Amino acid sequence: MSTPRIDVEKTGGVAFVRFNNPEAHNALTSQMWLDLRDAALGIAEDSSIRVAVFRGVGGKAFVSGTDISGFTKFTSGVDGIAYEHKIDDCMRAVDAIPVTTIAVVDGWAVGGGLNIASACDFRLATPGARFGSPIGRTLGNCLSALSMARIGGAAGVGIAKRMVLLGEIITAQEMLDTGFLLKIVEQEAMDAEIATLTTRAAENAPLTTRASKETIRRLALGTLPDIEAIVEEVYGSDDFRRGVENFLAKTKAVPKWTGT
């Protein structure tokens, strides 16, 4: 089994960031989250890069979420706050990339994968791609205000509610219809589509791109409510501990939540 990692390759003015943990459907380990942050910061600092493309390795998943084995070490809701702060720190680096960003989704983009895809400016997907954040049916945790704002802003509040409140997994076609996806592309044609899109994006005036992206980021994510007390309550609950246990035990039934 290969070591889970983030691969970064620069070709011309395009940076390719690949999530490389195919044995776990590209679930992000704690180190991979930090490496994603560092990759984003590196792209921001490299003036030769005009476009960044994010893609999962293996053809079956973009990112299937977070490797949740670390949740077994949580002892209170304070651990949940620290975890969400860490994810927010990593995702802010992706939000702040000053060049055009493109997510290429083959297969699953759920949990953290949905969050990362939502942070990108454009999203391409294969016909079988699926999107969601069914945490209310699996782990019983919650998202930070920043994550909810990011996903709701990209997918729309109605779709975000279906993903989180109903635990629905949404098809590529429906995500295209809502405007979340730029285009659905057959897998064998994806590389050519990426080349076309990156070429066009790279031709844009870099200062225009930078200014436009930063303005949109501030409008969408600039002022958010403090929900730490809510996050602490959820991550400190018996329901969350039960959800983690059931998930790791690969129990298919939805846990019997008690609300405590």
List the domain boundaries for the chain.
5-187
**Residue 180 phi/psi, 5° resolution?**
-65, -40
Superfamily grouping for domain 5-187: 2-enoyl-CoA Hydratase; Chain A, domain 1 (3.90.226.10)
DSSP strand pairing (130-132 vs 170-171): antiparallel
| pLDDT tens profile 31-65 | 999 999 999 999 999 999 999 999 999 999 999 99
Is 126 strand, coil or helix?
A: coil
In this structure, are residues 133 and 111 in contact, taking their beta carbons and an 8 Å threshold? yes
Whether 252 shows a pLDDT value over 90: the answer reads: no
Alpha-carbon distance 13 to 197, whole Å?
Answer: 13
- For residues 211 and 5, what is the distance between their CA atoms, to the nearest angstrom? 31
What would the pLDDT profile of 121-170 be if each residue is shown by its tens digit?
A: 999 999 999 999 999 999 999 999 999 999 999 999 999 999 999 999 99
Output DSSP code: residue 71: G
Who's near 193: CB < 8 A, 6+ residues apart? 124, 183, 185
Confidence of residue 1 (pLDDT cuts 50, 70, 90): low
The encoded tokens of residue 109 equal: 């983009």
The answer, as to whether pTM is greater than 0.75, is: yes
